[in-house]
Amino acid sequence: MVMIKSFSSSAIQNVFSFRLILLVLLFELSSAQLSSNFYSSSCPNLLSTIKTAVNSAVSNEARMGASLLRLHFHDCFVNGCDASVLLDDTANFTGEQNAGPNANSLRGLDVIDTIKSQVEKLCAATVSCADILSVAARDSVVALGGPSWTVVLGRRDSTTASTSAANSNLPGPDLNLSALITAFSNKGFTAKELVALSGSHTIGQARCTTFRTRLYNDADINASFATSLKANCPSSGGDNNISPLDTVTPTSFDNNYFKNLLTQKGLLHSDQQLFSGGSTDSQVNAYSSNSASFMNDFASAMVKMGNLSPLTGTNGQIRLNCGKTN
């Protein structure tokens, strides 16, 4: 009887060890499914096709670079980088495009659709919309003079989207520093990475409705800066009037965003919160005087963001049209 018990215990241990090894292998396989050469055989001209299209779009309208970058961010922060933000509402489905942080402000959907149609002609039913969006964001930054980074590929597209998740996960322009740190920490980012990623506001425009409260209520705002903005953003009306997030070089990806914060010229309340006597002041100072450090940290943080909860393997699908499921 003792021998039988011993054998049974050993057998159980072997089964447990086998299952543990299997789980580790499955995890490693899942992690390995994203790679920089994912489409090297199935769609070898993918990257050059996206780059050409992005360069053309940004050349036509420099603001589009910021819009494509924001589109990627608003995708990844809501249930991962799965192109859920691109799904249009239907009669029986409400997606993310009309959630509070996205309503009347998402841009670049047409550019992604154009790229997708070009890619489908090259290699049908092969490249995900999520991957196109990830590469387009990188190419947009590069087109405006910012850093480059290697985009790993192999993401698949979601079959659903969530209005409520968009409303609860995307940090708003009125958040204070502690809420910003929490919002980014919830996605695995440090306070330093929060500051680096916020540097994306060195490009792009914001609507009056997102900074009106700051203009008329905040104390930590440069007086002449506020006055110059009020003409285009009255205390009531003009919600969709736009102003550059970086008034110095609004179409150049540089570190002027941080220099602006030092003189209380952050456009959004959430921008100025990064330099308002809190824990991130020193990092803003550092980036304001060291552009290379900002560029490097921004690129690293973008790689990390692009890896947020991707669908891989047989999860999700490769949408044929980015605006709707197959």
Q: What residues are annotated to the active site? A: 74
Query: Is 84 labelled a binding residue?
Result: yes
Distances (CA, A) of 148 to 45, 60, 143, 203: 19, 21, 10, 16
Query: Is 218 labelled a binding residue?
Result: no
Query: Is 246 labelled a binding residue?
Result: yes
Query: Is 96 labelled a binding residue?
Result: yes
Query: Is 310 labelled a binding residue?
Result: no
Both tokens of 74, joined, read 């608003």
Q: What b/e sequence results for 277-300 when a residue is b if at least 16 CB atoms lie within 10 Å of its CB, and e otherwise?
A: ebebbebbebbbeeeeebbebbbe
Query: Is 174 labelled a binding residue?
Result: no
Query: Is 75 labelled a binding residue?
Result: yes
Among candidate residues 167, 143, 151, 132, the one with its CA nearest the CA of residue 50: 132
- DSSP, collapsed to helix, strand or coil, labels residue 207 as strand
Query: Is 80 labelled a binding residue?
Result: yes
Q: What b/e sequence results for 33-49 when a residue is b if at least 16 CB atoms lie within 10 Å of its CB, and e otherwise?
A: bbeeebbeeebeebbeb
Quote the DSSP letter at residue 232: T
Query: Is 271 labelled a binding residue?
Result: no
Query: Is 239 labelled a binding residue?
Result: no
C-alpha span between 137 and 141 (Å, rounded):
7
Both tokens of 245, joined, read 């997030």
C-alpha span between 162 and 97 (Å, rounded):
9
Binding site members for Ca(2+): 75, 78, 80, 82, 84, 96, 202, 246, 249, 254
Binding site members: 75, 78, 80, 82, 84, 96, 171, 201-202, 246, 249, 254
Binding site members for substrate: 171
